[in-house]
Amino acid sequence: MSKKIEQQTELQTLPVLALRGLVLFPGMILQFDAGRKKSILALHEAMEKDQTILLVAQKDLEDNNPDSEQIFQTGVVAKIKQILHHTEDGVRLLAEGMHRARIHQVISESPFLMVEASALQTTPYRSSHKTEALIRYTQNLFERYLQNYKRISPDIVIGVVKNKSCGALADYIASNVMLDFEQKQEILEELHPVKRLEKLIQILEHEIKVLEIENEITDKARDQMNQNQRDYFLREQIKVINYELGEDDNPQEEAEELREKILKLDIPDKQREKLLKECDRFAKMPFGSHEASVVRNYLETCIELPWNVSSKEVIDLAKAQKVLDKDHYGLKKVKERILETLAVRKLAPDINGQIVCLVGPPGVGKTSIARSIAKAIGRKYVRVSLGGVHDESDIMGHRRTYIGSMPGRIMAAVKQAGTNNPLILLDEIDKLGKSFRGDPAAALLEVLDAEQNSAFYDHYIDMPFDLSKVLFLTTANDASTIPGPLLDRMDTIFLSSYTHEEKFQIAVKHLIPKQLKKHGISSQNLRITPAAVHDLIESYTREAGVRSLERNIAAICRKIAKKIVAEEVTKITVKPADLEDLLGPRRFKPENKNKSDEVGLVNGLAWTSVGGQTMPIEVAIMDGTGKLQLTGSLGNVMKESAQTAISCIRSKATQLGIDVQFYNKMDIHIHVPEGAIPKDGPSAGIAMATAITSALSKIPIRHDVAMTGEITLRGRVLAIGGLKEKSMAAYRNGIQTVIIPEDNYSDISEFDDVVKENIQFIPVKKIDEVLGLALTRKPQPVLAPKAASAPIPAQGDPMGTQPPQPVVLEQPQC
């Protein structure tokens, strides 16, 4: 008969650490994390004394703060061997069980559990045949356990075989097998070694039965999965066998469906014959092969093309005029040109091939005009962006022999539209690239040629497709960068920069309502006064279009939306004085304010792909040896124009009151500000000549005069290009008088009315006329000795051997 004997000599005062789901046995080492405040404090208490602590399992795993009633009364006194490291949630420690102990009295519950406990001694037993049989049976049970639960270390197996003590064997096995903590606690509380081993035997027998059932279920599930895999392979083999026997119906059924769709298509006989032939090939291919999927995709793409599906085109000039006026303010000549094109289409609907190219700076509405035209005539609208396209296959498609082949952008746009007469906008046609893959601009020649596109041949479709019914519109910022043969196929319509009044009307009628709706603000909550709109245009934007203006309006709406959400305001009126608080300091100052007539400073005019702009030119004269210095990132043409201007002035030095020996006595420095921006072109010739004359004669130049024109050695003024954009730049900057070549006088008829009303254009033939208009007073001729004429060296190069500079594209043209 066993009997639990408590320590009778003395009681030991120990801190208690409650274990959640763990049970430690004597002689065993346990590593665990402690994170609860009570546990940490108990550990500190143990470490400050003799590093011994009572480890007791708690009854309820969900209890985060167990008291003395929520823990078992029997535990193990352990020695804290090591605190490994601190974790985010507490500490990780290593403890070794020393002996069993029972709690006799609770000393304190807070801040941690402190108890008096006594060591428990086990009843000694006598070895016999029974105990030896129990040990062997337990070892055999453990072996059966290993057969069903293989995640046991070999070291543990060796420890079980070597252990010949009933109590020690029970403790060792219980601590190393996966048992419930309550079962382990039951074994811990049994002090008689033989009974402890008998309890372990009962628990192991139960666990072995459960594991055997689990393994049986797992084996059945694995067998079922293997059977499904086997069935899958057998089905695939059946498919192959059926195909070899000619009994595979699936590809034939799919091919028959495609055949029916092909026969229903209204396409030419040659195209139908080719598609039916591909359909027959598809029917004979193995099911699921890569080539079969390629042929299937090809047939489906060809079937989805709108071979003879057309949308009804209704050309109503009154409706078109109404749509264009509603969507765009101003642009009278552009709208008139578009209506003329529509009128011709209505009178001669069978004549195709008129391809319109809209050329103008960014933000003037080229893309939106194309959308409005499609809406006005009832055609489908598709936009194809060509910016950066450098592969010919993007236009003509890829051949089907390539992996991942697809139709080109033109056929993809036609397929997207669903009709064979959409309006396709080829956007940014001047941004086409060119590489070793081919020239996409050359590929577009067939697309945009009315004589060829009736049988357009896409490499992927591999059949002619009629594009003659498609209305092509293209857009570009700079027509000069479009290849000549391609530009020759298009009818060009130029869109000029917007005037201040046009920007104001566009902002009031279109941009402000659009941004208010986009930002969820009603017109009652936010009102921008007309004066604020004028100030916004004048002080925060300096552009040809209205994109920057729209961005600034959007910025105002965002600022106001934040205030409305923060309940700072409910209604607000934006005035000119409020703009700096909303948008920051004004970026642009009016050019005609705080400006006076200066010596050697002239207002030139330049053309860029984003619109015209003023280009001040400065000349400084210094004592020297006749060096010429040109700065401002000037191109070769502009440098030659400067040398021509100096030679022209030298030939007229006497009548201009200039020292005829100035080219030997003085250094001339010509500078065009904004040196980071490349500049080139001949049209700054008269401006440079005027600035040089002013600097040499010390006569100021009128600040309200701008000029453009090419100069010759004899002082003739030659025609230039881009005058319309240059005049718009002069208008934006408050210039009152613009001097132009006489040969460009006829271009004035194309200018906007507001430009003609506010600027006086004066045509000239000779540089003498330019100087008489630009200088504040007339130069006085002086008598000077004749000087030998010698060429002026370029930029300090006395021999004139300066190497040519590379031509820079996308730069202002003077």
- Among 38, 372, 726, 727, the active-site one is 726
What does the alpha-carbon distance between residue 539 and residue 446 come to, in Å, rounded to a whole number? 47
Specify the DSSP class assigned to residue 723.
Answer: H
What does the alpha-carbon distance between residue 42 and residue 19 come to, in Å, rounded to a whole number? 12
Q: Which residues of 101-114 are buried (b: 16+ CB within 10 A; e: fewer)?
A: bbbeeeeeeeebbb
* CA 124 to centroid of chain Cα atoms: 80
- Among 647, 683, 694, 727, the active-site one is 683
Angle at 706 between CA 700 and CA 711, to 5 degrees: 90
What does the alpha-carbon distance between residue 608 and residue 81 come to, in Å, rounded to a whole number? 82
> Is 726 a known active-site residue?
yes
> Is 49 a known active-site residue?
no
- As beta bridge partners, residue 761 has 738
Kindly list the distances between the CA atom of residue 130 and the CA atoms of 200, 327, 381, in Å, as whole numbers in the listed order. 16, 105, 97
Token pair 């959007």 is found at 554
Angle at 800 between CA 795 and CA 802, to 5 degrees: 65
Among candidates 683, 690, 682, 670, which has minimal Cα distance to 772?
690
- Collapse the DSSP code of 259 into the 3-class scheme (helix H, G, I; strand E, B; otherwise coil) and give the result: helix
Q: What are phi and psi of 669, to 5 degrees?
A: -115, 115
Q: Which helix (H) or strand (E) holds 94?
A: strand 91-108
Question: CB-based contacts of 482: which residues, under 8 Å, 6+ apart?
Answer: 357, 429, 430, 441, 476
**Amino acid identity, position 462:** D
Phi/psi-derived region of residue 730, left when phi > 0, alpha when psi is between -120 and 50, beta in every other case: alpha
Instruction: Classify burial at 136, counting beta carbons within 10 Å of its beta carbon; exposed 0-12, middle 13-18, buried 19 or more.
Output: exposed
Among candidates 728, 726, 650, 643, which has minimal Cα distance to 685?
643
Q: Which residues of 662-673 are buried (b: 16+ CB within 10 A; e: fewer)?
A: bbeebbbbbbbe
Q: Which helix (H) or strand (E) holds 485?
A: helix 484-488
Catalytic residues: 683, 726
